[in-house]
Every structure is written in structure tokens, then in C-alpha cells.
A and B are shown apart, each in its own frame.
Chain A
Amino acid sequence: MIDVDPESLAVFLEEADELIADFEQCLLLLETLPDDREVINRAFRAAHTIKGGAGMLALNPLAAFTHELETLLDELRDKQLLCTQAIIEAMLASSDIIKAHLDLIRDGRSEKTSGQDAVLGRIWKVRAEGDMPPEAPPAPSAVVLAPGLQAVCVASTPTPVFQPMVSVTPVPAEAPAALEASAPAAEGHRNEAGSASIRVSIEKVDQLVNLVGELSITQAMIGELVQDYSPGKLLTLQESVAQLERHCRDLQQRVLNIRMVPVKGVFERFNRVVRDVAAQAGKQVSLEIHGEETELDKTVVEKIADPLTHLVRNAVDHGLEPTEARLSAGKPAKGLLKLSAYQKGANIFIEVQDDGRGLDRARILQKGRERGLVPEGREPTDDQVWDLIFQPGFSTAEKVTNLSGRGVGMDVVRRNIDDLQGKVSITTAAGQGTTFRIQLPLTLAMMDGLVVRVGKQVFLLPMVAVISSFRPTAKQLGRVDSTEVVEVRGVYVPVVRLYEVLALKQRVTEPTNAIIVVIDDGSRTFGLMVDELMGQLQVVVKSLEANYGRVKGVAGATILGDGQVALILDAPSLLGLTRDRGGHFTAAPGPLVIPNLERA
């Protein structure tokens, strides 16, 4: 081993994660194309590379285990073995062991994993059972010198000698010195090794380098102009500053873009999840994946994996009916699970769609009443009923299976998605299937906002929710019942006076002297009345929740160019705030002045 510095370890872990995902992909391909040499080669290389890296970092238990897997793959490659289902199963089990090893290493431990011996036994068994001639003699553990070629190092290779007759044999620990050295080094760096790094394509880096180059040129130009300034040069200076602005914005976008990774990495693992869950549940399921190239913030991608896994498992285990039930309902025996991702505006949507039985409204409602979540005599809407399944401990599963039905999960799913500032919605039709749609922000870090002023305070409205803005004429204003409305392109929409919602003192009270900003979140449209529009800004979003808890109507805060703190309003929810005035919105609205926000 060479120095186990935390950075190398992090690089190794990240690479190993990718390799193991690729390895599993290969195994699934081999199930349909057992003789594909290219796929076997790819799988071999993945195992080989993991082993190599593990060896160099003296992660010997992992290296030793992967060596056994590599040997098996080598025999497949050399056609000494035929790729049977048993072999694929054994390799899938090995893949799980390697993942367990990687998790242990992330925890700072380099040791054998439980269950590893059993899997080794399986590997040896499938190798021994192969109808091809037995394996080649074990590789020599010392270096053989070729004449004239000098071996510079003799290291203890992790090569446990193949013992086909012993089903479970612990792999001998080798290179104790190296092992000792690796353990403490690995320990202290657990966290850094987690997700501390990100892989960026050379292309993206080159674009940045280019842009920074241009930025310096513009800066030099401005520097020169300023140094030897005369009023006649004002126009040139203004042009240069405008160029500088363009470059800055471009740079900002591209730097953010570095954080964007395709959801492919997350989606790919579901081939395996669906396969395993379907096998355990005794169902036939085909998985369709769409839009895997859709890009999302790396943090979001990492955090969406768990809730998504839960939804996928649920869909296979609960959503899809057993084969007989499907056939008698006139559906194809094979259930269909669709996983798709797409971008719409500044949001990413991820959908998990099954063609199963759909949610059972009556049963969910009954459970809800039993648990006192729905008062007797009240008829909730469909959406309210579906919402019940996100309550903690809520499960309608009749039998608790190994897979799901323990009542934990959906509430966690919702919480995870909430944490990402996302939303989850359900569309379902009895007998036809269920779709879970997760809406996520493109990135958590930046936002395009419309800057508005009410009284002395400045607020930001997320640009995505803004349709248009205008100063209304008296003719456009009106009332429907007690609600103030304004006409927007022939349609009347309710008016929400921002100063009322936020109980601000100074304000323009006459709508014809104010500005109406039309807000639409996809389901509702309304006009938000503000004093003045101040412009459009791309801002860095700072969370308020750490210090102030969640404030209804407020999505976060940001710091403006002049150092002033401005709240970012969750515009669509403002309509709900006025409506709920008498009921749910009990907290005194009060002026939302946030004292002394720390500049982060």
C-alpha cells in the first residue's frame, strides 16, 4: 500500500460505487445474454479495478473477496465456465457483499463482512460445479523473474488458494502490516469519504476555464479604461461592464451546472431492486425507465434515492396485483412499472407509475377513521384520503411481508421529499394503477427571483411562479361575493394584498396605484398586489429554518447586492394564507421582519 490519504480513499469509494453499479448492470444483461463476451469483460474489469484499488489502499478483506469474484469472472471470460443462472445469482450476492464492504470502509472499518463466507462458498460451489474443466492452477504468489526483466517488488498478493471441497473457509488475512496501517487512517476520515467529491466532465471544466479567461480579459479592459478615464470613454466603459455582467451570470450558471448530475446513477439501481422485490413477491414485473439523462443537483440526487427506493418497492409489492389477479382482471400477467424523470420549468419531476390495482379509497378511509385521523361524519376529498397514507404508522397492508407493510416508510418518504423542498402527489385509478409524482427544485442553491417592494420591505418572488405583472385600471377590478378580483386576459382571479397577508404598515392601498403580479403554481392563479417592482435577480437561497423554524409563506431569505436581507416568499402559498385567516393560520401574522440575520 501507498499512503492511505483520505482523498484517495474518497476517490476510491466513489469509483467503487460506480463500478459496482456497472457490475450489476452487466449481471442483469448477462441474464438475457449469458454469452456476451463484451459484457463479461466489462464485469471483469469492474471487479478487477475494485480489487486493484482496494489492494493499493490495503483494504485487504475487500481485495481478497473481490479476488475470488475476479477469478470466477476470469474463468467465464476464458470460457472455462458457462454463465449459468446460479453463477449470476452468486455474483449478485457477491455484489451485495462488496457494497457491504464499501459501507464498512465508509465507517472506517476494513474487515470481513457477515455473510461473506457463505457467498464465497457459493462462488466456489458454482466454480466446482461448472461442466467445464476445473480451474487453472492458482497464480503464484511470488513474482517470477523473466530473464532480463527485473521484478522490483514482491508483495503478498491476496490469493487464497482455491479449495473447492470446503464450502465455507475464511479467507486468510494477509499483509498484517499493511492492514494495521490502513485501519486508523480510514477511521478519522469517514465523513469526508462520503460524498465529498463530485465527478465533472473535462468538457465542463474546459468551459469554465474558457469563461474565466474571458472574464479576466474584460476585467483588464475595464481596469485600463478606469485608469485613464475621460468622459468620452463612458460608452465603452458601460459596454465593458455589461459584458462583465454577462460573463458573471454565465459563470454562475456553469458553476452551478457542475453540481448537476444525471439521475441515471440512481435509476440504474432500480433494475436490481425491482428484480429482487419481484422475485421475493413472486410477481412478474417489467421496468421501463425514461429520462434517465435528466440532470439534478447532486445533493438532491443522493437524497432522493431512499424515498424513491421505498416507492418502487411499494409499487411492486403492493401496487401490482399477484399474477392470477391480473389475469382474471384481463390485464397482462407481467406488471409494468415506469420510472421517469423530466424537467419542466425550474422543477424536476420524477414519477413512479404502476399499472396495478390503484389505491383502495374505502379501505384507506376506514383505516383513517379507525385511527381517528378523519372525524366521523366528514367526507374528505380524494386528495385528502390519499394524503392519509403519508401519516406516520399508516398501513393498510393485511399481511406484513418482509418487503413492506410495516407501516414505516411513507411518512419518511414525505419527510425526505419535504427536506428537499419538494412535493409528492398521487394520481390513482382503481384497477388501473397509481402514479407517485415527486416535484423537486432544480437546485437548492440558486433561484431566479422577482424583486418587489411593499412599504419599506423588499421581497423576492420565485420567477417560476410569476406569469406577468401589470398596473390595473379601475375597469379591471371588481368583486365576486366578498372576494376582490382582477381581470387578467379576460379571466377574473382573486387578488391577494401582500401588505394584508404580512400585516405591513406602510403601503399603497389603492390597487390602481399598485402593481399586480400574477402568480400561478400550476393549479391556482391569483394576483398578488405589491407597491412596486424593483427588478429581477438571480439569488443564492439561504435557509431560515435552522434559526426560525418553518414560516408559512416564506421559502427562505437572501442577501441583496446592497447587503439588505430580503425574504423569499413562497408565492403560491400566500393565497392559502388569506383564505385560512380565520382557521388554520392562527399564528399572529405580524410583520415578518427577521432581526439580525447572520451573513452566511
Chain B
Amino acid sequence: MKKIMIADDSAAVRHILRTFLVGEGYEVVEADSGGAGVACAQAQAFDLIISDVNMPGMTGLEMIAAVRQLPSHVATPIFVMSTQASGEMTARGKEAGATAWLTKPFRPEALRNAIAQWVARSPPTVP
């Protein structure tokens, strides 16, 4: 089963995503801060990471940059979710190592399509 990490400080957003993703047949791990996200990624390899930007402490973009340094996550698709979608923000996301940008709020099909597009492409996780 493919494993997805959700990093968001909002329990509501995590719950919404988890409900959807579990329904789609994925295993979901939640992180409620950037720091927790990095710790999770150090402990296990994910097939996809979905992260919020605005979190207390370490921001989502800082977390992504840190996760990208991990050998296990060099090529893992990482989606950023944000209500902001300015060119400057997306550029910063790209710089940090994000794969794609989801503008909140989004529809389930959008997430489904994005996963189909990116997660399928990535090499299978090393067991």
C-alpha cells in the first residue's frame, strides 16, 4: 500500500484529507508541524508528501527543503497546499523542492488526478 504523509497544523484539514485518501486506498501518516513532518520522513519513506505552508514554527516550505535533503526523499513527489498561489509563492515552493502546487480549497478529483499523475511516475518505494 502506498504511504502518504500529510503535514498541516489544522486537525480539520488533516482529517478531511485522511478520510479521502484512506478511502482511495492509501496509508496515511499525519504530521501537525513542519518539525514533526521532518521527523516522520526521517523515520520512514513516503510515496507522497502533502504539506501546508503556513504552520507555526517550521513552515511547510522549510520542511520540504529539509525533507529533500534526506536520501530517502530525493525524488518523492511533494505537493504544497496553500490558499495563496501567487507566482512568487509558487516559485519559492519550487525552490524548496515542491513538485506541485494545490490551491486550497480543492476538489477531491483534483487531488486524485494529481496523485495519478505524480505518484505513478515516481519510482517504487524501496521496501
Contacts and interface: CB of A to CB of B under 8 A. Distances in A.
Interface of A: 1-3, 5, 7-8, 11-12, 15-16, 45, 48-49, 51-53, 55-58, 63, 67, 139-140, 142-146, 148-155, 157, 175, 178
Contact of A11 (B11, B56, B101): B11
B47 to A, nearest CB: 16
Contacts of A67: 83
Nearest to A48: B54
Interface string B41-68: 0000000000010101000000000000
B12 A8 contact: yes
B87 interface: yes
A15 B15 CA distance: 11
Give the 9 A-B CB pairs with smallest separation, nearest first. A55-B105, A12-B12, A153-B110, A53-B12, A152-B114, A144-B87, A149-B94, A146-B90, A2-B20
B114 to A, nearest CB: 4
Nearest to B18: A8
Most chain B CB atoms below 10 A, which of A15, A142, A145? A15
B23 interface: yes
B55 to A, nearest CB: 8
B40 interface: no
A51 B114 CA distance: 23
B102 interface: yes
10 contacts: A1-B106, A2-B106, A3-B20, A12-B16, A51-B83, A140-B85, A149-B93, A152-B101, A155-B110, A157-B105
A157 B99 CA distance: 21
Contact of B79 (A1, A55, A152): A152
A3 B19 contact: yes
B100 interface: yes
Nearest to B82: A52
Contacts of A45: 9, 54, 56
A8 B101 CA distance: 23
Contacts of A7: 15, 19
B54 A151 contact: no
B16 A152 contact: no
Contact of A5 (B19, B54, B90, B94): B19
Interface of B: 9-13, 15-17, 19-20, 23, 52, 54, 56, 79, 83-87, 90-91, 93-94, 98-108, 110-111, 113-114, 117
Given A2-B107, A56-B16, A151 B94 contact: no
A11 B19 CA distance: 12
A58 B104 CA distance: 10
The residue in A45, A52, A53, A175 that gathers the most chain B C-beta atoms within 10 A of its C-beta is A52
Contacts of A51: 83
A149 B15 contact: no
A146 B91 contact: yes
Nearest to B8: A52
B84 to A, nearest CB: 7
Contacts of B20: 2-3
A149 B101 contact: yes
Contact of A52 (B10, B110, B114): B10
Contacts of A2: 16-17, 19-20, 106-108, 111
Given A151-B103, A152-B117, A153-B114, A139 B23 contact: no
A5 B100 CA distance: 26
B87 A146 contact: yes
A326 B66 CA distance: 61
Contacts of A3: 16, 19-20, 23, 108
A140 B84 CA distance: 9
Contact of A157 (B79, B83, B94, B108): B83
B83 A55 contact: yes
Nearest to A141: B85
Contact of A152 (B12, B23, B100): B100
Contacts of A155: 103-107, 110
B9 A8 contact: no
Contacts of B17: 2
Given A2-B20, A15-B10, A157 B15 contact: no
Contacts of A152: 79, 100-102, 110-111, 113-114, 117
B11 A15 contact: yes
B85 A139 contact: yes
B85 A157 contact: yes
Interface centre among B84, B106, B113 (most CB of A within 10 A): B106
Contacts of B101: 143, 149-152
Nearest to B102: A153
Contacts of A15: 10-12
A145 B100 contact: no
B84 A53 contact: no
B20 to A, nearest CB: 4
